[in-house]
Structure 1
Amino acid sequence: MKTALAPYVRILGRGANLSRSLTGDEAQDAMEITLRGDAAPEATGAMLMLMRMKGETADEIAGFVRAARATAAAQGHVALDWPSYAAGRTRGLPWFLLSAKLVAMAGYPVLLHGWNSHQNPTASVRNALPVLNIPILDSADFSELPGGIGYLPLETLSPALFDLLRLRDALGVRSCINTVLRVLNPTGAPATVQGVFHPPYRELQMDAGQILGQQSMTVLKGGGGEFERHPGKDLALFGLRDGQAWDDTAPALSAQHVRLAEGSETSDPGALAALWSGQLHDDFARAVVLGTADLALQTLGADITAAALWDERQQRKTA
């Protein structure tokens, strides 16, 4: 019987007066045991659900990430890490993919990585990638990203982490693995942008990133949990600048007070390419793309605006 994880389940589950959170070192060891396959599946589920009940700490998330990086490291030149792990039930088209393309066009290589559960085909990142000519990488070992951008599927990056994420199907609720994957940054890129669905996770991811030595990070409550700005809402921002905790606010860019899924006139993934080429004119979608790209560029410390890049894209198209 596999019992290696039992001491950590015991720490988390000894009752209201005796249980406590894991230290960073304990969390790292517990995740190393799990990813090696030395944990009983019952113990893994118990650990994750006990952590969910009490609430994960930044030390626990950082410890899990340190363990995950040992088995889920990617090799390649990346300036901006862009995780994408939202289920997509409440959102529309993934306009943020155009934001990532703009950042890459500015000369900052972008690695998108993630998994989309396809609960909402309209929001599916996987369905949109071919439309935008964003390559799906077949290995975590790459030197340069074609066109400065690529998408690394979680099941390619780490089958073991993919299996842990898919435990949601058996458990019925999310676990801290969702947060771990957002903070993972498998290439160690100097900058990362992260979305959350539930606001308290903004500070949790910020604190975990600081423990891990991340230098630049921006976290926001985005569309369906993705890093995507709603232009019709004031925005609270959290993250890191030069490794130090940082927060800011950004005023609304538009007067449209609608859900992202309702703001655009179309649900056809082909609209993403049409907006990029100029065949589609959709002011709300354009505001989503440019507002999101500007936040990513600010995270990188870039001195160019998304609007300037958008105009340059048009010039390149007509040249």
Structure 2
Amino acid sequence: MTSDHPFAEYVRILGKGPKMWRHLTFEEARAAMGMILDGQADPLQIGAFLLLLRRTGETGEELAGMVAAARDCFLDPGVTAEIELDWPSYADRHRQQPWFILAARLLADQGVRILMHGIAGYEDGYAPTRPGLSVFNIPQATSLASAAAAFGSDNLVYVGLENFCPALQSLFELRPLLGVRTAVNTFGRDLNPFRAPHQMQGVFHPPYKPLHLDTVRHLAQQNSMIFKGGGGEVQRNPMKPVLVDALVAGEAVVQEWPAMTGQSVYKWREENLDPAELLRMWQGELDLPVPELAIIGTVAFALKQLEPALTIDAAEKQARHLWQARDKQRF
């Protein structure tokens, strides 16, 4: 008689009948994802596992266990850097310019050390993050070790997932094959490779906010802001009020940020995804009030997280001042 494959245990836990299945514990999720990332699971099992997780609905404990497994598989184990803010960028496609790059650049210029990390996106006319990075001379590291070293010359560094956890990057590439996003697209945002004490997360679907909050709490993250971001990125939508699910010194709070404008459209052509437009925005050559407010509003979020005593109004005023005082000719 042929014995079950070791990974079959985790498929069975999730895939039993309506009254028999259950969620995975932290350690079970860690072990299961560890086997996947280590190449010990069959592709058929991986697809079944990820789709069962999607059908049952992942828990924060499960996602945290999978984050722990991914961290176990980092190519540079033990490498770290003293930074203030973790900035994930894992939206695989969006129809907006990544204005948030200007927000991160502005914060870094004030001395805030930021690690941005993520995937490339798809080459189908959508705007991924990476083309806009070189416009502002943002180092793109080829490993966590080189990212740590790059902070010696810049306060903002980007590293692609494929350069520090390629096995996880390969799971992102299953989306076109499976036809849906999976838990991988969710927990990738929570990796925080350098364990920064502060973290920003933009999500596409608001119902995912409590799930991310529960995930980072299981990971002992003390400070985090999770909100519906433009295109699923860390980018504030200034045209609508924003409810931010936050952890402040480990305590969960909800912050109510008002809309910043009465306008209802960006007044920017979706088809123009040229990164040079980002540079023109920095240089003050574009008159785009709503994207400008998106930048200012995103900076305000970060300022509020880094200094919780700031009121929302004070954070926005400070962010506006920083934007208006930027060196437009720097780049």
Range class of TM-score, shorter chain:
over 0.9
* Superposed displacement of residue 192, structure 1: 0.6
Cα gap change, 1:280 to 1:159, in 2 (>3 Å): same
Q: Distance in 2 between matches of 1:166 and 1:266?
A: 26
Between 125-134 and 60-69, the greater mean CA deviation after superposition = 125-134
Structure 1 partner of 2:141? 137
Following TM superposition, by how much is the alpha carbon of 1:222 offset from its aligned partner in structure 2, in angstroms?
Answer: 0.9
1:158-200 per-position Cα deviation (integer Å, ceiling 9, x unaligned) = 1100011111121111000111110111110000101111111
| Aligned partners of 1:235 and 1:249 also within 8 Å | yes
Match of 2:193 among 182, 186, 190: 186
Aligned residue number for residue 82 of structure 2: 77
Unaligned runs of 5+ in 2: none
In the other structure, the counterpart of 2:279 is 273
Q: Could you tell me which of 147, 156, 163 is aligned with 1:149?
A: 156
Which amino acid in 2 is paired with 1:246? V
Among 286, 297, 300, the residue aligned to 2:303: 297
SS across alignment from 1:65? helix
Deviations 1:79-137 (A, max 9, x none): 11100011224x31100000111111111111110013235545221121112221211
Q: Is the contact made by 1:265 and 1:282 (CA closer than 8 Å) also made in structure 2?
A: no
* Structure 1: distance between partners of 2:272 and 2:254: 34
Partner SS state of residue 50, structure 2: helix
Does 1:48 find its partner at 2:50? yes
CA contact (8 A) 1:263 1:284 kept: no
Identity of paired residues, percent? 40
Aligned pair partner of 2:288 in 261, 282, 287: 282
Q: Return the letter of the residue paired with 2:292.
A: R
* 1:99 lines up with 2:103 in the alignment: yes
Q: TM-score, normalised by structure 1?
A: 0.92
Question: Match for 2:15: what amino acid?
Answer: G
Calculate the aligned-residue CA RMSD, in Å: 2.2
Gaps of 5+ in 1: none
Read off the aligned partner of 2:69 and give its amino acid letter. A
Q: Which moved more, 1:111-120 or 1:77-86?
A: 111-120
Q: CA deviation at 1:235?
A: 0.7
Aligned 8 A contact 2:284 2:328 in 1: no
1:265 and 1:53 map into 2 onto residues whose CA distance is 35
Partner of 2:226: 219
Gap change, CA 1:263 and 1:215, over 3 Å in 2: farther
Alignment partners' CA distance in 2, 1:261 and 1:316: 25
- CA distances 1:249-291 after superposition (whole Å, capped 9, x unpaired): 1100011112x58588964321211121223332222111000
1:64 aligns with one of 63, 66, 70: 66
- Secondary structure, in 3 states, of the residue corresponding to 2:167? helix
1:238 aligns with 2:249: no
TM-score (norm 2): 0.89
Q: Take 2:307 and 2:149, find their aligned partners in 1: how far apart are those partners?
A: 23
| Among candidates 298, 308, 315, match of residue 321 of structure 2 | 308
Is the CA contact (8 Å cut-off) linking 1:222 and 1:230 kept in structure 2?
yes
Q: What is the match of residue 195 of structure 1?
A: 202
Q: Secondary structure at the match of 2:154?
A: helix
SS at match of 2:140: coil
Q: Does 1:20 align with 2:25?
A: no
Q: Give the count of matched residue pairs.
A: 316
Deviation at 1:14, TM superposition (A): 0.7
| Secondary structure at the counterpart of residue 163 of structure 1 | helix
